[in-house]
Amino acid sequence: MSTLLQAENLEVHFPIKKGVFSRTVGYVYAVDGVDFHLNKGETLGIVGESGCGKTTAGMAVMGLTPATGGRIMFADRDLAAMRRYELKKLRSSMQLIFQDPYSSLNPRMTVNQIIADPMDVHGVYLGRERKDRLAFLLETVGLTPEQGRRYPHEFSGGQRQRIGIARALALDPSIIIGDEPVSALDVSIQAQIINLLLRLKREFDLSLMVISHDLAVVEYLCDRIIVMYVGKIIEEAKYADLYKTPLHPYTQALLSAAPVSDPLREKNRILLHGDVPSPINPPTGCRFHTRCPKRMDICDKVEPEFTEMGEGHRVACHLYTAESGV
């Protein structure tokens, strides 16, 4: 398996400005030193609760939000060292699908114009090729070429998400990042879009990154999953390992808290106290120590390193480090 994209010790800190002189009075440690990679042909999931830095991490690897630390590598090339034309090419090979199909499409453009826009920007599929390309893309996502002449408001939420996906496919990308791609959709429409993404991934040999707070959606879509908490990755595993043997107390709590649409399933709910801490003042040591049911003396003092717990399964928690292991 070849690595397409790699983030090393990635940091995105947003300055908090105050007063007339816009003094920086602190930082939002939105993404605070994370390592991850995306392999060719796989689907990587990023899960975690609101504000933990999922979107920011995704934007940073796309170069849409500047990283304030660490490196992002594409096939051994450093994003920061790339020249303008290289960046432009990279942008075309990496595309985003947004959560909100309502606000991500320009209401004054026809669907054809929306999908063609990236082709204009990059000067591809010009002249006679254009019409065929548009028809192909629309049919690929389950719309008809006739629908290309209509405006976004004439479509339902699920259809608008299809339009967004067609636009993302316009430049033959190799990577697609979906930020909550089905969260805004009706329950009966979510499966249509999930199945569409899975089919496109196969047909176009895509690598996907799926960002979502919905644990069931991520399990269904992804090969490998990263769990984030207040700007940090706390666990990473292949999907089945994560759901069958979650190791980090936060992952365990998260999975146990998710409501399951099966009234006969037995639930052992781990109830956490309090809210997710703010990334402006992240807790010392292990960031989960303020809510962790298994916290120990060391936990608020020393930040846990990753421990490898099996093939591709790593966890950052003192329960598994050599010194304090149980």
Partner 1 sequence: MKSEHLLEVLDLKTSFYTFEGVARAVNGVSYYLDKGETLGIVGESGCGKSVTASSVMRILPEPPGKIEGGTILFDNQDLTKLSQKQMRRIRGGRIAMIFQEPMTSLNPVFTIGNQISEMFILHKGMSRREAMEASADMLDRVQIPAPKARVHEYPHQLSGGMRQRAMIAMALACEPEILIADEPTTALDVTVQAQILDIMLKLKEDTGTAIQMITHDLGVIAETSNRIVVMYAGKVVEEAGTVELFTKTLHPYTRGLLASIPLLGSRSAGTQQSLSEIKGTVPSLFEIPSGCAFRQRCKHAMKICAEREPELEQVGSGHAVRCWLHIPQEKR
| Environment class of 207 (CB within 10 Å of its CB; exposed 0-12, middle 13-18, buried 19+) | buried
Residue 162 and residue 196 in contact, taking contact as beta carbons nearer than 8 Å = yes
Of these partners, ligand SF4, Mg ion, partner 1, none, which one is at the site of residue 269 (CB under 5 to 8 Å by kind)? partner 1
Q: How many other C-beta atoms lie within 10 A of the C-beta of residue 181?
A: 29
Q: Which of the ranges 17-25, 28-36, 235-243, 291-299 carries the binding residues for ligand SF4, by CB under 6 A?
A: 291-299
Note every long-range contact of 295-298, with CB atoms under 8 Å and residues 24 or more positions apart, other chains counting.
Answer: 296/324, 298/324
Of the candidates 109, 124, 258, 309, which one interacts with partner 1 according to CB under 8 A? 258
SS3 state at 230: coil
**E strands in the chain:** 3-18, 23-39, 43-47, 69-74, 77-78, 94-97, 175-179, 207-212, 224-229, 232-238, 306-308, 314-316
What tokens appear for 304 in the block?
């846990």
Integer Cα distance of 3 and 60 in angstroms: 18
Residue 295 lies near ligand SF4 (rule: CB under 6 A)? yes
Of the candidates 133, 289, 313, 314, which one interacts with ligand SF4 according to CB under 6 A? 289
Name which of 55 and 95 has its Cβ closer to Mg ion.
Answer: 55
Residue 55 lies near Mg ion (rule: CB under 5 A)? yes
Q: How many other C-beta atoms lie within 10 A of the C-beta of residue 265?
A: 7
Residue 45 lies near partner 1 (rule: CB under 8 A)? no
Which residues, 6 or more positions from 111, have their beta carbon under 8 angstroms from its beta carbon? Answer: 138, 143, 147, 148, 149, 150, 151, 152, 155, 163, 166
Name which of 133 and 289 has its Cβ closer to ligand SF4.
Answer: 289
Integer Cα distance of 16 and 28 in angstroms: 7
Of the candidates 286, 310, 311, 325, which one interacts with ligand SF4 according to CB under 6 A? 286
Of these partners, ligand ATP, partner 1, Mg ion, none, which one is at the site of residue 30 (CB under 5 to 8 Å by kind)? ligand ATP
Residue 247 lies near ligand SF4 (rule: CB under 6 A)? no
Of these partners, partner 1, ligand SF4, Mg ion, none, which one is at the site of residue 187 (CB under 5 to 8 Å by kind)? partner 1
Residues lying near ligand ATP in the complex (CB under 6 A): 14, 28, 30, 48, 50-56, 213, 279
Of the candidates 10, 168, 292, 314, which one interacts with ligand SF4 according to CB under 6 A? 292
Integer Cα distance of 264 and 50 in angstroms: 29
What tokens appear for 163 in the block?
């339009």
Residue 182 and residue 217 in contact, taking contact as beta carbons nearer than 8 Å = yes
Of the candidates 141, 163, 276, 299, which one interacts with partner 1 according to CB under 8 A? 276
By Cβ distance, which residue is nearest to Mg ion?
55
Q: Which of the ranges 2-10, 55-63, 120-128, 246-254 carries the binding residues for Mg ion, by CB under 5 A?
A: 55-63
Q: Please, what is the minimum distance in Å from the beta carbon of residue 211 to ligand ATP?
A: 7
Residue 290 lies near Mg ion (rule: CB under 5 A)? no
Residue 301 lies near partner 1 (rule: CB under 8 A)? no
Measured in whole angstroms, how far is the alpha carbon of residue 286 from the centre of its chain?
Answer: 23
Q: Please, what is the minimum distance in Å from the beta carbon of residue 179 to Mg ion?
A: 6
Q: Which of the ranges 32-40, 108-116, 274-282, 313-321 carries the binding residues for ligand SF4, by CB under 6 A?
A: 313-321
Interacting residues with partner 1 (CB under 8 A): 49-50, 156-159, 186-192, 194-195, 213, 215-217, 219-220, 239-240, 242-244, 253-264, 267, 269, 271-276, 291
